[in-house]
Amino acid sequence: MSNFDTLLANINIHPPPEIEEVLNFFNSKKHMRDRSRCHAYMILRYSVEKECKRIGEFNVTLIRKAADHLWKNSTTQEKSEYVNLGQRKENL
């Protein structure tokens, strides 16, 4: 799949993942400098990556571009779901 618009049409990132899934993801990342820092955008990018893999897209550049586009075009309400999830993770 190489069409960016088609990729965006097939990605479903709302609602965000459950807190347990986020904890597992951040605890499994050995290369992260600071596992305690969990930003809303990082969780959204994880969701985009997971969705892209589900539909068979593995191009890292395209996944990053899709995550950037979705973050920039998300509503305040949509972003707040990810912000809240990041805050919950940091408070655990």
Residue 81 lies in a domain: yes
Indicate the number of domains in the chain.
1
Prediction pTM value: 0.83
Residue 20 lies in a domain: no
| 3-state SS track over 34-88 | CCCCCCHHHHHHHHHHHHHHHHCCCCHHHHHHHHHHHHHHCCHHHHHHHHHHHHH
Residue 51 lies in a domain: yes
For residue 51 the two structure tokens come to 């969705």
Residue 42 lies in a domain: yes
For residue 3 the two structure tokens come to 């069409």
- Domain range for 77 is 4-11+35-91
pLDDT tens, per residue, the chain with 92 residues = 458 899 999 999 988 999 899 888 877 765 555 544 568 999 999 999 999 999 999 999 999 999 999 999 999 999 999 999 988 887 77
Residue 78 lies in a domain: yes
pLDDT score of 92: 74
Residue 25 lies in a domain: no
Closest CA to 54 of 13, 3, 5, 85: 13
pLDDT score of 33: 54
Residue 87 lies in a domain: yes
